[in-house]
Amino acid sequence: MKFILGMALAFLAGGGVGQAAEGWIPMFNGRDLAGWKSNEETPGVFTVENDVLKVSGGRAHLFYVGADGKATFRNFEFRAKVMTTPGSNSGLYIHTEYQASGWPIKGYECQVNTSHSDAKKTGGLYAVADVMHNAPSKDNVWCDYSIKVEGRRIVIQIDGRTTADWTEPMDWDPAKTLTNMPGRKLGTGTIAIQGHDPKSTTHFKELAIRPLP
């Protein structure tokens, strides 16, 4: 609670009255990676250019830690503007936690992929509620990406259109259901941005999150 209040007050001081009044917490200041922690599996993947977070150069993950380094969420709404480039692949992890290397084990991945060879495209809940083959996003065009987690339900929207709406079953056991994804389940955690491979370049801006009861 202290974290949420502190971030909201800081944003009000910076002039973001409209967003703060609605309960939205800005996650990216457009200048640097304050509030984020990269695992540096591949150094230099995450850079800031012209108010945009650029993700390029290899596999690495950037975890949102907030002002106090302890950011965690259960129910929330998340929004960002996302832009892919030809052949790129990325993702947004939810209910995850810092991991020094490898694909994050904990939480779910919300896919970001317009034209990469992976058939699972933007707006899908990876390996659980996929968007197959036809992406709702376009390369070199910004899209509005939103994620809502409430209870056991996850809803993903691209440009206001629902692309995934999935409720985790009460008896969900990812170790039995998914291949090599035993941690794919809801709990609590933070947001992470994925750097996928050396040929992938994606862009993010205007990232914000709103905790829900």
Domains of the chain: 25-211 (2.60.120.560)
Q: How many CB atoms lie within 10 A of CB 17?
A: 11
Q: Is the pLDDT of residue 72 over 90?
A: yes
pLDDT of the residue at 17: 46
Considering the entire predicted model, what is its pTM? 0.90
Q: Is the pLDDT of residue 202 over 80?
A: yes
Mean pLDDT of 126-155: 98
Mean pLDDT of 75-104: 98
pLDDT of the residue at 28: 98
What is residue 176's three-state secondary structure?
helix
Measured in residues, the chain has a length of 213
Instruction: For residue 176, give every residue at least 6 positions away whose Cβ sits within 8 Å of its Cβ, in sequence order, or none.
Output: none
E strand or H helix at 12, and its extent? helix 2-13
Q: How far apart are CA 54 and CA 167, in angstroms?
A: 32
What is the 8-class DSSP label of residue 71? -
Q: How far apart are CA 87 and CA 156, in angstroms?
A: 22
**What letter represents residue 203's amino acid?**
H
Q: Is the pLDDT of residue 194 over 70?
A: yes
pLDDT of the residue at 73: 98
Mean pLDDT of 181-207: 98
What is the 8-class DSSP label of residue 136? S
pLDDT of the residue at 20: 61
Q: How far apart are CA 145 and CA 151, in angstroms?
A: 20
What is the 8-class DSSP label of residue 134? S
What is the band of 19 on the pLDDT scale with cuts at 50, 70, 90?
A: low
pLDDT of the residue at 10: 43
Put residue 105 in one of left, alpha, beta given phi > 0 → left and psi -120 to 50 → alpha.
alpha
Instruction: From 60, 7, 75, select the one nearest 213 (Cα to Cα).
Output: 75
Mean pLDDT of 16-41: 87
Q: How many CB atoms lie within 10 A of CB 160?
A: 8
Indicate the average pLDDT of the chain.
92
Kindly report the backbone phi and psi dihedral angles of residue 160, in degrees, each rounded to the nearest multiple of 5, phi listed first.
Answer: 85, -5
